[in-house]
């Protein structure tokens, strides 16, 4: 009955990634992981030196993969048009929403990611930001190519504005179809700012359409417009 089976550490990584994505670091015990991987609890310490270390290895593995997907989308040639900005935004946003809403694994992982970004230890945030930084840097450059008046500082603020919106609209969808426990009153459960939903694809369409129009105008204003007046 001895399986050939991928080696233990690989099985641990795969099993743990799914569990961590679904339930978060604290929501998963090493006994859960060991059981899911079909190995002994002690194997986690043997191969990775502890739960935290295993988690960080997974975090890094997932982040580099994510970064590569996004960079590929950024670098894909876009047809030249007089709406270069809109096209760039659309390509980027669509990649993000597809990645975080349509893929099962990606959907689970984005929640974990947002949490780590907001309140993870410095070590964990470091891992995430090392992957995110080049991604947003490259996006900022693409942005500046396509809207000439945008200086570097402004591009950084714009990146912040975009990131904030992406996170919000992603999490808004994830919050919406919460599994109804028995005896619940679904009409009481009101997600934040109900941009309505129907199915994922329509939601993504709406979100992308809104955010492209909103952000394109915002970016052009930040790039070219006169500074907003301060109150007297």
Partner DNA sequence: TGTACATCAGTGAACGCGCGTTCACTGATGTAC
Residue 92 CB, nearest approach to DNA (Å): 36
Our finding on whether 44 is near DNA (CB under 7 A) is yes
Asked if 116 and 125 touch (Cβ cutoff 8 Å), the reply is: yes
CA distances from 120 to 25, 57, 115, 116 (A): 10, 15, 7, 4
Our finding on whether 49 is near a copy of itself (CB under 8 A) is no
Q: Which residues have CB under 8 Å from 214's CB, separation 6+? A: 165
- C-alpha count within 13 angstroms, C-beta hemisphere, residue 93: 31
Q: Which residues have CB under 8 Å from 14's CB, separation 6+? A: 6, 37
80 binds, among a copy of itself, DNA, none (CB under 5 to 8 A by kind): none
Among 35, 36, 47, 56, indicate the residue that binds DNA (CB under 7 A). Answer: 47
Of 38-46, 53-61, 80-88, 96-104, which segment contacts a copy of itself by CB under 8 A?
80-88
Our finding on whether 43 is near DNA (CB under 7 A) is yes
Our finding on whether 222 is near a copy of itself (CB under 8 A) is yes
DSSP helix/strand/coil, 176: coil
* Six-digit token string for 93: 């946003």
Distance, in Å, from the CA atom of 142 to the CA atom of 147, rounded to the nearest integer, reads 9
For 41, phi then psi, to 5°, come to: -55, -40
Our finding on whether 9 is near DNA (CB under 7 A) is yes
Our finding on whether 1 is near a copy of itself (CB under 8 A) is no
Our finding on whether 76 is near a copy of itself (CB under 8 A) is no
- Interacting residues toward a copy of itself by CB under 8 A: 24, 26, 83, 86-87, 90, 111, 114-115, 117-119, 122, 125-126, 129, 132-133, 136, 153-154, 156-161, 163-169, 171-172, 175, 178, 181, 184, 188-196, 206, 209-222, 225, 227-231
Tell me which residues touch DNA (CB under 7 A).
7-9, 28-32, 39-47, 50-52
């Amino acid at each position: 009955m001895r399986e050939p089976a991928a080696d233990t550490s690989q099985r641990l990584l795969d099993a743990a990634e799914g569990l961590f994505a679904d339930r978060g670091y604290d929501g998963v015990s090493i006994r859960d992981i060991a059981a899911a991987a079909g190995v002994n609890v002690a194997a986690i310490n043997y191969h990775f030196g502890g739960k935290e270390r295993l988690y960080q290895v997974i975090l890094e593995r997932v982040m580099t993969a994510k970064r590569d997907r996004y960079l590929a989308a950024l670098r894909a040639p876009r047809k030249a048009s007089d709406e270069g900005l809109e096209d760039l935004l659309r390509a980027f946003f669509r990649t993000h929403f597809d990645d975080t809403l349509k893929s099962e694994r990606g959907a689970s992982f984005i929640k974990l990611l947002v949490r780590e970004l907001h309140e993870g230890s410095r070590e964990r945030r470091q891992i995430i930001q090392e992957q995110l930084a080049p991604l947003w840097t490259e996006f900022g450059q693409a942005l500046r190519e396509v809207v000439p008046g945008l200086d570097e500082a402004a591009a950084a603020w714009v990146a912040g504005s975009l990131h904030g919106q992406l996170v919000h609209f992603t999490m808004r969808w994830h919050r919406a179809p919460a599994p109804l426990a028995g005896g619940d009153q679904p009409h009481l459960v009101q997600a934040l700012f109900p941009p309505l939903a129907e199915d994922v694809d329509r939601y993504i369409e709406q979100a992308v359409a809104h955010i492209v129009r909103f952000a394109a105008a915002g970016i052009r204003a930040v790039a070219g417009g006169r500074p907003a007046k301060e109150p007297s």
